[in-house]
Each structure stands twice: as C-alpha cells, then as structure tokens.
Structure 1
C-alpha cells in the first residue's frame, strides 16, 4: 500500500464548525476503511496547516477518498506521496 501525508486546512465553513472536527475525522477514518485504506496517524496542528493526516491505500482509493472529503466543503488538502526507506532504495536502485 502507498503512504500519503495530507496537509489539511479548514475552509471558512470548516472553521465555523471546528467543534465538529473530531467527529468529521472519525467519519473520514470510516470512509478510508470502507474503501480499503487506513489512517495511520493524525494531528491537529497550529501554524500554516490545521491538521496533518497519514494514510495508507492505493493511489486511486486515496484520491477518491480525499476528493470525497474535499467535496463536503470543510477542508482543503495538499497530499504528498511518501516513501519509506525500503521503497526509496528500490526506486533509487532502478536509476541508470
């Protein structure tokens, strides 16, 4: 499974309902599990981003899950594909 680090910002709608954020996150975890992925970690943060979420799943599934969440209007996301040491060694090993 691929690993994704998602940087989350609340929209105006999302921050107005910030007290519901933990419940929305629980719904997101359920969505990820239903779609065959998983949430490995999540943190609410201060600074440039409001949350950081680490998920695993296929690229197609993760994209569909994040588009689904984004379409609800509470958050905007930036997602980074992450590689562990073994994965990056394999990728580097394929370089000419």
Structure 2
C-alpha cells in the first residue's frame, strides 16, 4: 500500500454542503474506503487550502479514480502527492 497526501479546497458549493451537513466529511471518508482508499489522518487547515489528508491506497490507479470521483462532484478541488517514508527515501539516495 502506498501513502498519499491530498490537500483540498472546498468550492462554494462544497462549503454550503458542509455547513448544512458537517457529517458529510465522515460520509466521504466511508465512500473513499469503498473505493479502496483509507483515510489515515485528516486535518482542517488554515490558509490557501481547507483540508490535508493522509491516505493509503493500493496503487496510483485507485487513488486517481478516487480523486477524479471527488472532483467530478464539483464540491472540492484537490492536489495529490505520493508520500515516501523517509527511511525508504534515504535508501534510494545511498
């Protein structure tokens, strides 16, 4: 399993949905799980983006499918990065 960092920003519609239904965050987490993406940690952040999520997925195909599904709803825009553990990374450069 590979870890990914997803940073996201709510659209206006997404903010309205979240205000009406704060439980939507947990509902989306469950939907992601059903798509093969496990949310490991989740933070609301202040600044340019609204959320930072650490997730795990079996491969790039699974994470790609999940973020496209989320984006297609029009409530959130994401940026996704592969997270390489430092111990693993240091082995790459030795």
Aligned-partner SS, 1:48: coil
C-alpha offsets along residues 13-54 of structure 1, whole Å, 9 cap, x if unaligned?
112223256433222221222122310000112111111111
Q: CA deviation at 1:3?
A: 0.9
Partner residue in 2 for 1:75:
76
Taking structure 2 as the reference length, what is the TM-score of the superposition? Answer: 0.85
- The alignment's C-alpha RMSD in Å is 1.7
Residue 29 of structure 1 pairs with residue 20 of structure 2: no
Structure 1 unpaired stretches of 5+? none
Structure 2 unpaired stretches of 5+? none
Partner residue in 2 for 1:87:
88
Q: State how many pairs are aligned.
A: 93
> In structure 2, what is the Cα distance between the partners aligned to 1:21 and 1:65?
21
Partner residue in 1 for 2:41:
41
Taking structure 1 as the reference length, what is the TM-score of the superposition? Answer: 0.83
